[in-house]
Chain A
Amino acid sequence: MDLSSINPILLVASIMVSATPILLAAIGEMVVEKSGVLNLGVEGMMITGAVVGFAVAVNSTSPALGFVAAAAAAALLSLAFGLLTQFLLSNQVATGLGLTLVGLGLSSLIGKPYEGIKSPTLPKLDIPVLSDIPVLGRMLFSHDLMVYFSLALVVAVWAFLKHTRAGLILRAVGESHDSAHALGYKVVIIRLMAILFGGACAGLGGAYLSLVRVPQWTEGMTAGAGWIALAIVVFASWRPGRVAIGAYLFGGVTVLQLNLQAAGAAVPVALLSASPYLVTILVLVIISARGAHAAPASLGRPFHASS
């Protein structure tokens, strides 16, 4: 094995790129879960975002338009979940699974003509001064806009939940929908908005995969990223800062195992490829063994004004 072939500067840079899609999806899902809704359809919304973003970017040659379209398409898909769970009071676990299956089918249907095409690339921001710093500049300050957007989104979500009235209401709905309803808040509308936000974020994450990280469309390309995003929310105990840490941790594992494979490490390839999933399980076990359950109290419970 030749470890010297791994360049630490490139390693950190690629960790940031590989963490971004999971981070976007996870921060969106965290807001959804904070409002008391468990949407297991992240994987389906992500892959829909990936294919729609890719298709629009290729046809319009504008990656920015691709990201917008991806967010809109995934939000639309999440609206279906929202209508089913909030108005028709369907089981959230089953509906989320259904959303994933629909998303996977829809994406491979849309994506067929786009296989093997290269997408227009998102320009890298060369932040003046900062990106000229030796080592650190290339590591941290010469990425594309979405990397910084995802980090800004984490801060924004944190500030929203912690320091705004609307954020407080959202958390109240998630902790006790009956009390929030009694206080006159529109539980269903608030949850629907949270679901739409989560959908849009998952769509952005998916588009980042197909437009920047890979950048290509292949069927089933999210390969469980949406599910890992769900696991990260649990790992993070529903806190924005920890969501970011979790996403970067998994980005790190993914990049590291790819680098080790390339360097010809004396570990079976199957074990390395499976390592992100194994680490997810390990982390979930550690978190649940510590008993640090900070889940919103109404998470996954259906709300009907009559009961």
Chain B
Amino acid sequence: MIRLEKRPQPSKLWTYLTPVLAVLLTMLVGGVLFAFLGANPVEAIRTIFWDPLFNAQFAGFTRPQLLVKAGPLILIAIGLSIGFRAGIWNIGAEGQYIMGAICGAAAGLAFYPSESFLIFPLMIVAGALGGWAWAMIPAILKTKFGTNEILVSLMLVYVAENILGSVATGLLRNPEGRGFPGSRNFKQWDAAHNSDLIANTGMHWGVVFAFIAVIGAYVLLTRHVLGFNIRLTGEAPRAARFSGVNPARIILICLGLSGALAGMAGLFEVTGPAGQVSIDFGSGYGFTAIIVAFLGRLNPIGILLAGLLMALTYIGGELAQLMLGLPGASIQLFQGMLLFFLLAMDVFTNFRLRIGKREAA
């Protein structure tokens, strides 16, 4: 008879061990899945996790992609993790990401074709404000009426997608685009182009901001009283209230912060890798960032590593699609499984396995 015994405190060792084990387990089960799909499992795993970084032939093209993909994931996940710590579930980051891109792009395009150096900073601020405002909707509804933020923030993703479709074919459509949907291409407008800071590294402003966010979140959570209050609200809401923490303030800060970061991620994406506001701009980063946040144990450093790993699976997945003919959706399933295994393994963090009969109390 196997039974679980609650640990007095979560195990430090298992906290760090579970993500690693979850990744290994996902590789194992993923390998079986790939074998079913008719690919050599070892080759598939190598293509996903090894080739993008070290293959002599094409690592030169794929390595910069690592930072391009990891930047937005980390930026969004950092914001989400702070909310998750406080027990505030913003799962609508995808919507905030889209609205950030739209608002930032619109603010920039209003000044087209100015070449002022102020254009790009203005767009960053507008993008952050767009994401922030979109996240303020669930935040205010929660603080004023107690409305569930999970459902509201998610519903707003679909609303944002509809707005995106509308502006890409209407308001922000390129007037010189011969009627095709999509805005002007930012890659052809130097003042607004979010180009590589060091050529061919994938290191654009979004990656820089992601690193700043990691450091900022680390300082906030470990050194600042606000970070302490956020953690306290999540772990012991009653104790937090008794010690004078205002729950409404925490909700507004957490949702606002995650919205602003997601909005900035959207702006960096639209001015850089994506290049323009188009109908299919929403790429699912907002949802994958949820996995990144959990895989990184809601810890800023962990999220940095998890973001890089998840970016690797994106690139490796594309590579596997190209080289081995694996369906693109299999990588999405792969990422979902990773979260699932992680949550399953977490039982060891909080519980001890005991074999044998329960002793009489």
Interface residue ranges, A against B (CB under 8 Å):
40, 80, 84, 88-91, 93-95, 97-99, 101-106, 108-109, 112, 219, 223-224, 227-228, 230-231, 234, 268-271, 273-274, 277-278, 280-281, 284-285, 288-289, 291, 293, 304, 306-307
Contacts and interface: CB of A to CB of B under 8 A. Distances in A.
Contacts of B141: 281, 284-285, 288
A280 B151 contact: yes
A89 B5 CA distance: 12
Contacts of B106: none
Contacts of B4: 89, 304, 306
Interface in B83-121: 89, 91
Given A106-B333, A280-B155, A306 B6 contact: yes
B336 interface: yes
Contacts, number: 138
B290 interface: yes
**Interface SS majority for chain B:** helix
B147 A288 contact: yes
A84 B291 CA distance: 16
A293 B146 CA distance: 10
A90 B333 contact: no
B152 A284 contact: yes
A153 to B, nearest CB: 23
A274 to B, nearest CB: 4
A288 B329 contact: no
A230 B148 CA distance: 11
B146 A105 contact: no
Contact of A227 (B5, B151, B347): B151
A223 B330 contact: no
A104 B137 CA distance: 26
Contacts of A106: 333, 336
A63 B33 CA distance: 28
B240 interface: no
B41 to A, nearest CB: 16
Given A281-B147, A284-B147, A289-B146, 11 more contacts: A90-B344, A101-B291, A103-B336, A104-B332, A234-B148, A270-B166, A277-B156, A278-B155, A280-B155, A281-B137, A288-B141
A277 B159 contact: yes
B336 A268 contact: no
Nearest to B161: A274
A307 B162 contact: no
Given A89-B347, A284-B147, A97 B91 contact: yes
B333 A274 contact: no
B147 A90 contact: no
Q: 5 shortest A-B CB distances, which residue pairs?
A: A105-B333, A105-B332, A270-B166, A102-B336, A108-B329
A93 B150 contact: yes
B256 to A, nearest CB: 18
B146 A288 contact: yes
Contacts of A94: 294, 339, 343
Interface residues of B, number: 47
A224 B155 contact: yes
Interface in B316-335: 327, 329-335
Label chain A's interface by main secondary structure. helix
Contacts of A274: 158-159, 162-163
Given A109-B330, A285-B147, A270 B347 contact: no
B145 A288 contact: yes
A101 B26 CA distance: 15
Interface of B: 4-6, 89, 91, 137, 141, 144-148, 150-152, 154-159, 162-163, 165-166, 287, 290-291, 294, 327, 329-337, 339-340, 343-344, 346-347, 350-351
A90 B343 contact: yes
B340 A84 contact: yes
Nearest to A111: B329
Contacts of A102: 333, 336-337, 339-340
B323 to A, nearest CB: 18
A88 B347 contact: yes
8 contacts: A90-B346, A101-B290, A105-B336, A112-B327, A231-B151, A270-B166, A289-B147, A306-B6
Contacts of B6: 304, 306-307
Contact of A84 (B145, B146, B166, B343): B343
A307 B330 CA distance: 40
Nearest to B91: A97
A231 B336 contact: no
Nearest to B147: A288
A285 B140 CA distance: 11
Contact of A40 (B5, B150, B152, B334): B150
Given A94-B294, A109-B330, A89 B158 contact: no
B162 A80 contact: no
Given A227-B155, A277-B159, A101 B343 contact: no
Nearest to A101: B336
A307 B8 CA distance: 11
Contacts of A281: 137, 141, 147, 151-152, 155-156
